[in-house]
Amino acid sequence: MKYIPTIGIECHVQLSTKTKLFSEVDNDARGKEPNSCVSPVDYALPGMLPRLNGEAIKFAVRAGRAMNCEINRSSRFDRKHYFYPDSPKGYQITQFYHPIIGAGYVLLPSGTQIRIEHAHLEGDAGKLTHFDSYSLVDLNRVDTPLIEIVSQPDIHSAKDAHDYCKELWRLMRYAGVTYGDLYNGNMRFDVNVSLAPEGSEKLGTRAEVKNLNSFRSVERAVEYEIKRQTKILEAGEKVVQETRGWSDATGETTGQRSKEEAKDYRYMPEPDIPPINLSAEFIEEQLKDFPLMPADYREKFGEIIAGDTLEVLLDYPELMQKLDEVKNVKLMSNLFASVLLAEEKSAEYLNDLPSAEDLNTLAEMNAAKELSSTATKEVFLRLFDPQMKGRGARNIAKELGLIQENDLGALEAIVDAVLAKPETAKAQDDFRNGEEKVIGFLVGQVMKESKGKANPSAVQQILREKLTK
């Protein structure tokens, strides 16, 4: 029997606000000492009250727009109770009943549409490090703002699961709501996988693989689960509904605790945070400079840039924005892809891209054949060089002696000078008498006179015009 996998994904995105969701504490704990970015609000000393970060609301509006989601005019927070050392409060403040982001969809590069069920704001938990006989708790991450994005079970392959997670990563970075640093756990994925016989209308029992932090591990974990569950079903046994952990090292998932049911969390309205009621004007204000999204770029540049190249470039929102500003998208996309991304230093280069003006000048010089394609690449790279970039494309090309002489006036003067020389008189007569190949000799003389900087095809054209007059 053939089994069809059905996959739904929950994705947690850490927002890059300056402060935490409910306290005025530094939200960027990267490289900081354990328990140094913590306030008594985060660990819930008696009498402490959460104070909602307005920026997180604005970020949520932008994140929702990136996923074509309805922004709910009215939303509120709830307490989700559980007992675990990563949360001294004994509960997580989340949005269970009325999330800020409603239904929407994400388009994968393949064109497949994955529906978003909803997305909500919540505070993160602390970080636990496990040792042989004890665990250590660092509360720096407590109440870092998260958006949890819940997809519909619209995914049916490991590849689509990978592509969906990657597209979310792109969307959240394009919307400017996260650093998107996967290595530091800025995005984490929980993947629900179930199998049902082909043609069946009922979904199978699902297993949830928690806490995946790379697209590759999402893909591998789904592949593993499909194999594991197929084996169980083919043996006539039943898949157990449970939470499973993934190991990158072994490439396997293993069963963890049995999942708590929703009612075990004893959800209740968070009494300390009044509801959020957004006006149409407020939402509009947050979206007024909303940038193009990957799907917009695919539509806009799909016929100019080759598909594979475009997908590589789409990982870099700043770069795409720059491409949107320049005139010659085809040339620039090729330069970015073949010259810049091939360089080892691309990541640091990308932080400080050349101005559109410089790139346009470069494209113009290339189009006017002032720069050969090799010279164009050379100047392009120099535009990223901190020592040179301020000087402008034209000056850099000049300093490096890369400009081909195309100035028709200047070229004509050189051609005239060469034609005035007695030693070229015979060649001129021969050409006029139909001896085509002496043109090569004359071009050579002009190139010599220009010290190699003339554009040979332009020279030939001028010579032909003058000799056939």
Instruction: List contacts with another protein (CB under 8 A).
Output: 17-19, 24-26, 33-36, 38-40, 43, 45, 51-57, 76, 81-85, 128-139, 256, 260, 264, 266, 269, 271, 273-278
Measured from the CB atom, the residue of 34 and 185 that comes closer to another protein is: 34
Q: How far is the CB of 75 from another protein (least distance, A)?
A: 11
**d(Cα 437, Cα 444) in Å, to the nearest integer?**
12
Partners of residue 91 on adjacent β-strands: 81
| Rounded-to-10 torsion of CA 451, 457, 463, 466 | -130
Nearest to 385 by CA among 356, 327, 345, 357: 345
**Which two tokens mark 454?**
């003339």
Nearer CB in complex with another protein: 110/133: 133
Nearest to 71 by CA among 267, 271, 285, 273: 285
To the nearest 10 degrees (0 to 180), the angle between helices 215-234 and 158-174 is 150
Nearest CB to another protein, comparing residues 54 and 302? 54
Output the smallest distance, CB 258 to another protein, in A: 12
For residue 321, give the nearest of 284, 359, 361 by alpha carbon: 359
Q: How far is the CB of 355 from another protein (least distance, A)?
A: 30
Please give the biggest Cα pair distance in the chain.
105
Least distance between another protein and beta carbon 43 (Å): 7
CB of 218 to another protein, least distance (A): 22
d(CA 105, CA 278): 22
Nearer Cβ to another protein, position 77 or 297? 77
CB of 76 to another protein, least distance (A): 6
Residue nearer to another protein on the CB measure, 87 or 217: 87
Nearer to another protein, 284 or 343 (CB): 284
Nearest residue (CB) to another protein, 62 versus 162: 62
Rounded least distance, CB 145 to another protein, Å: 10
What stretches of 255-355 show up as alpha helix (H) in DSSP? 280-286, 294-301, 307-313, 317-325, 329-335, 346-350
Smallest gap from residue 135 Cβ to another protein (A): 5
**140 or 328, CB closer to another protein?**
140
Whether residue 10 contacts residue 206, with contact meaning beta carbons closer than 8 Å, is answered with no
Residue-by-residue DSSP string for 185-242 = TSEEEEEEEEEEETT-SS----EEEEEE-SHHHHHHHHHHHHHHHHHHHHTT--PPPE
